[in-house]
Homo-oligomer: A and B are copies of this chain.
Amino acid sequence: MADLPKAVHIMEVGPRDGLQIEARTLSADDKARLIGALVGAGISEIEVGSFVNPKAVPQMADTEEVIKRLPARPGVRYRALWLNPRGLERALATGKVHMEGRLTLTASEIFVKRNTNRTIEQTIAEMPQWIGQYKAAGIKVDGLGLMAAFGCNFEGDIPGERVVGLVERTASLMREHGCELEHLLLADTMGWANPAQIQRLIGEIRQRWPRMALKLHLHDTRGLAMANAFAAISLGVTEFDAAIGGLGGCPFAGHKGAAGNICTEDLAFMCEEMGVETGIDLDALVAAAQLAEELVGHPLPSKLAKGGTLRRFRSR
């Protein structure tokens, strides 16, 4: 039976990973309102936008404006995404984004080529430059984010050995440049992972790097996100990305109408019901999910927002 951790930390990615594929572009005010509701519900880390080419992702063009509207709150980290040095500069310039020196790699050769016009080898070859840029900005480099780590709509299954091999190469390269790989994010970008695969890969990583902090970014494309999260939690994984209401999807994965990221409130509810603390007020989180639905103007996949928390039944 599961040996569950005491607490799980959920980073909210809806305002970035979720809203970027919505047909309706929200105003900076509405984005800030949604982020405020999330913070009010006890979410302590939020990806609030991205500093990327506004032509490629117009929904994120106003990230600076959104961040201006966010109050500094003790214990709350605002996060953002960047893909090039210009984006990193923009994030630094806000003075309010929590900076993290995380390198990024994609486990699918075809997917990385489509998205970034680079091969896996070229991406690895650019890592020293990234390390240099982070160091110059005073940012500690200690993380790797590995996209499409479980499978790819363009390439098919991604073997666990390839993932372990890419982590190994990155860890060596980082060591050569005076950094240590301590945080590994595995992203199931296109919803290929299953719970048994999740547990096998966690096992392989743990065997090789017993002290590596693992984080999962799960998508519910084929309905397995919650089972995958439980499979990981039951092996002691305590960090997850999730999107309010289940916002999201992958704009570059050739999928229309499919479900998005794992839903923040459903994941938080599962944790809390199992006695795993999240620091989140579930009823306030459901209200934030309802606000998200209202703002995007269509129903979201969230189950808890429709089924309701159990608090009102228990307090009878």
Within 8 A of B (CB), among A187-225: 191-192, 194-197, 199-200, 203, 220-224
Do the beta carbons of B1 and A200 come within 8 Å of each other? yes
**Which residues of A, 255-282, contact B by the 8 Å Cβ criterion?**
255, 257-259, 263, 266, 269-270, 273-275
Which of A221, A227, A303 neighbours the largest number of chain B CB atoms within 10 Å of its CB? A227
A304 touches B227 (CB 8 A): no
Report the nearest B residue to A262, measured CB to CB: B223
Does A25 touch B at the CB level, under 8 Å? no
Q: Could you tell me if A273 and B199 are in contact, using CB atoms closer than 8 angstroms?
A: no
Asked if A63 is at the interface of the complex by the 8 Å CB criterion, the answer is no
**Would you mind naming 14 contact pairs between A and B with Cβ atoms under 8 Å apart?**
A1-B203, A151-B313, A152-B313, A156-B313, A156-B314, A157-B314, A191-B307, A194-B274, A197-B274, A223-B307, A224-B269, A224-B270, A255-B307, A258-B303
Asked if A7 CB lies within 8 Å of chain B CBs, one says no
Bound complex: CA of A230 vs CA of B153, how far in Å?
Answer: 24
Residues of B within 8 Å of A234, CB to CB, are 195, 231
| Minimum-distance CB pairs A-B, first 8 | A223-B303, A223-B266, A194-B273, A227-B230, A221-B307, A196-B274, A258-B307, A222-B307
Q: How far is B197's CA from A230's CA once the two chains are assembled, in angstroms? A: 12
Cβ of A136 under 8 Å from chain B: no
Shortest CB-to-CB span from A186 to chain B, Å, is 16
Interface check A124, CB cutoff 8 A: no
Enumerate chain A interface residues (CB-CB to B < 8 A): 1-2, 4, 151-154, 156-157, 191-192, 194-197, 199-200, 203, 220-224, 226-227, 229-231, 234-235, 255, 257-259, 263, 266, 269-270, 273-275, 301-304, 306-310, 313-314, 316
Residues of B within 8 A of A306 (CB): 257-259
Closest Cβ of chain B to A148, distance in Å, is: 12
Give the one of A1, A197, A269 with max B CB within 10 A: A1
Would you call A270 and B221 a contact (CB within 8 A)?
A: no
With the chains together, A260 CA to B20 CA distance in Å?
30
Among A191, A203, A223, A304, find the residue whose CB has the most chain B CB atoms closer than 10 A: A223
Bound Cα distance from A274 to B199, whole angstroms:
11
A198 to chain B, nearest CB (A): 10
